Each structure stands twice: as structure tokens, then as C-alpha cells.
Structure 1
Amino acid sequence: MGLTAKYCINCDHTLSTDKYYCPVCFSDRLEEKRLSGRGEIYSFTNIYAVPKPLADQAPYYIVLVDLEEGLRVTARYNGDHVEIGKKVELESIDRRAYYFRPIGARERD
């Protein structure tokens, strides 16, 4: 498990989207790069009104996470207390959804 992104070998830019060329230098010399999965919360919202398949999970937090590598991702937050600037790490990826937890929190059973 882990986050990956494309990385430009030519100009050292990490791409936020899946492209075939670098939007900075237009090089096609791209490689896959493993990201740390660590960052901090930029913003958040608490979701109360959910579709029926998610009714048993409400309420829950959706967070914007600024990753250490400079990218921003949208994710679910698995924690009790959320605040802007809180350090978080990737806990899991399920059906293309990212789940983050506070750094230092124990794995869930």
C-alpha cells in the first residue's frame, strides 16, 4: 500500500495528475515515485448527510491533506479530533479512497 505520483526526471517536479508529459518543462521523461504518505491537514468538513450505502458511517470527516512532497489530496479522516495543521499519515486505501489518521495513532483492528 502506498501513494504514488509521476515525477519529472528533467526538472524535479512531482505531478499532481496522471499526464504523459511534465506541465512545467514539457519533458516526457517521467517516472513513478512513491510518496511518504505523511502531511498535514489543510482544511476539513464534517459530513452528516450521506448516501444510503454510507449511512452507518456518518458522521465522518473529509480532509484536504498537504503531503510532504507538495501535493494536496482529499481523504477520509480516521480520528476523533481534527484540526487544521494536524500532522497525519496514510492509514489505508480502499476503493481508490484515501484514509488518513493522526501521526502516532495505532493501527485499527
Structure 2
Amino acid sequence: MEVPRHWRLRKQRYALVGEVCPHCQAKIFPPRDVCPECNGEAKTPYVFSGKGEVYSFTRMSTVPAGFEAQAPYTVALVKLDEGPIVTAQLTDLGDEDVKIGMPVEMVTRRLRSDGDERGILVYGYKFRPVVGSPR
């Protein structure tokens, strides 16, 4: 992926910035020009809390090119507190088992290196378990 594309996606990758529809108040992630709920124009930025829960998950042992050094790892569907469901890698699990409904929070971490040792480092969001959560 080229550098300009990384630059364009930095808000949603580093801070979970999506949109809120001014017509129906639906929270949208990733950002789109048209609301998927009411088909109205949606261009109002919205910063998600980064809190949510595991909706579903799987353990990846056969991984795509560029992610071999991280294998095996867990990928989850995370239902954000505001409603949208995002796909993300889980991190900081230790010996803890992943469970449906487990509370998680967004963290910014290195996703991969793009190219050789002098290539661009790609950062983005991952989710980790919330310690001591009352949920």
C-alpha cells in the first residue's frame, strides 16, 4: 500500500474516527458519504469511544503475506458501544481465553512493516481486554 493511502486513513486507524448521520443519528464506521441506514448524506465526523465487546472471534494460524511474524493471532468482530461492528486483531491476551461478550478497548499498535527493513511501518487499531471491567 502506498504512503498517501496510509496518510488518508490515519484518523480512522489511529483514533476510530467515523461519521454520524445528521438525519437519523446512526454512527458509521468506517466513514462513508451515504448513511447505510437512511441513505442520507453523512459527512459529520464522529470519534468513537474505542470501547466495545467481542461479538465473534477466530484464531488465525494460516495468515496473509506480511503477517507471518505475528502468527498465530486472534481476530475478532468487535461491537463498539456506539453500535458498529469492526474487525480487528486482539492483543495483550496473555493466557486469558477470549470469550464472546468480553469487554475490550482500542489501542494503537504496529500492524506490519510494508517492504524490507527500510520500509514503512504501518500502525493501526487493535483491541485488548479491559482489565477489571464491571461488564
Measured against the shorter chain, the TM-score band is: 0.7 to 0.9
Cα distance change of structure 1 residues 83 and 28 upon mapping to structure 2, 3 Å threshold: same
CA contact (8 A) 1:76 1:97 kept: no
TM (norm. structure 1) is 0.80
- Structure 1 outlier segments of 4+, above 6 Å: none
Unaligned segments of structure 2, at least 5 residues: 1-13, 111-121
**For 1:93 and 1:85, how far apart are their aligned partners in 2?**
23
- Secondary structure of 2:67 counterpart: helix
What's the CA shift for 1:62? 0.4
Unaligned segments of structure 1, at least 5 residues: none
After superposition, the C-alpha distances for 1:70-101 in whole angstroms (9 at most, x for unaligned) are 00000000113211110000011543643100
Determine the structure 2 residue equivalent to 1:92: 108
In the alignment of these two chains, the number of paired residues is 105
Map of 1:69-80 to 2, 5 A cutoff? Answer: 69-78=82-91, 79-80=93-94
Percent identity between the two aligned chains: 35
Determine the structure 2 residue equivalent to 1:6: 19
Root mean square deviation of aligned Cα: 2.2
